[in-house]
Chain A
Amino acid sequence: DTEVTQTPKHLVMGMTNKKSLKCEQHMGHRAMYWYKQKAKKPPELMFVYSYEKLSINESVPSRFSPECPNSSLLNLHLHALQPEDSALYLCASSLDRPQRDTIYFGEGSWLTVV
């Protein structure tokens, strides 16, 4: 079973709202990722958590705040977003082996900022 579950699938929020995206996996994976994907572009890495600690932050604006409550859960808290932040937000997970590590994506959350 290689399932990464993301909720909600679609989210519309105003620029003053606070919302959260959620991600869950039960594969025993120790690394979890947030990616952002705009139309006709490849996914762009935002954050990586390894063993529940933030290991990579790709200079993401502070209006995006990740949280990893435990090894199975990953949240992305959203506040004061801009319309250009509208995109597909993808969560992914992997075993976090140093070399041979396969990354699996969830179905994504479509975010529209109005």
Chain B
Amino acid sequence: QKEVEQNSGPLSVPEGAIASLNCTYSDRGSQSFFWYRQYSGKSPELIMFIYSNGDKEDGRFTAQLNKASQYVSLLIRDSQPSDSATYLCAVKATGGKLIFGQGTTLQVKP
């Protein structure tokens, strides 16, 4: 079992729809969870972080964390073509390493 798992996609949604990206992790001791957005040819850009169970909202983005289920998700409301990118889920595991999932490619179609 991979330490951080994401569906590689591509996930295709129409413009204006909600995009839902999911991630599971294996280390129950993990405390910090991150979503990075990466455009082709660019470096990862931090868009959300979450430490506590529940929801965290920032503009059109909502991160959701369920530690009991070892599950973290990212919702993007009113998706725009400019949101088309690869979204990397990352988990800071016990020992301090930041471990990435394989990334989900999101395509927002006009």
Number of A residues, CB within 8 Å of B? 23
Q: Which stretch from A13-21, A76-84, A94-102 is at the chain B interface? A: A94-102
Contact B100 A42 (CB under 8 A): yes
**Contact A90 to B96, CB < 8 A, known contacts A42-B101, A100-B31:** no
- Residues of chain B contacted by A103 (CB below 8 angstroms): 34, 46, 90, 92, 98
**Which of A2, A43, A88, A98 has the most CB atoms of chain B within a 10 A radius of its CB?**
A43
**Contact A105 to B44, CB < 8 A, known contacts A42-B103, A45-B98, A100-B31:** yes
Contact A99 B98 (CB under 8 A): no
Number of B residues, CB within 8 Å of A? 22
Contact B45 A105 (CB under 8 A): yes
Which residue of chain A is the closest to B95 with respect to CB atoms? A56
**Cα-based distance from A50 to B100 in the complex (angstroms):** 20
Contact B34 A102 (CB under 8 A): yes
**Which of B32, B49, B51 has the most CB atoms of chain A within a 10 A radius of its CB?**
B32
Contact B43 A99 (CB under 8 A): no
Contact A45 B97 (CB under 8 A): yes
Q: Which of A89-114 contact B (CB under 8 A)?
A: 90, 98-108
What would 24 A/B residue contacts be, using CB atoms closer than 8 Å? A2-B46, A33-B98, A42-B101, A42-B103, A43-B44, A45-B97, A45-B99, A48-B96, A48-B97, A50-B96, A90-B43, A99-B31, A99-B32, A99-B51, A100-B31, A100-B51, A101-B32, A102-B49, A103-B46, A103-B90, A103-B98, A105-B36, A105-B45, A107-B43
Q: A41-B102, A45-B97, A103-B34 are in contact. List 19 more A-B contacts (CB 8 A).
A: A42-B101, A45-B98, A45-B99, A48-B96, A48-B97, A55-B96, A56-B97, A98-B96, A99-B31, A99-B92, A100-B51, A101-B96, A102-B32, A102-B46, A105-B36, A105-B44, A105-B45, A107-B42, A108-B42
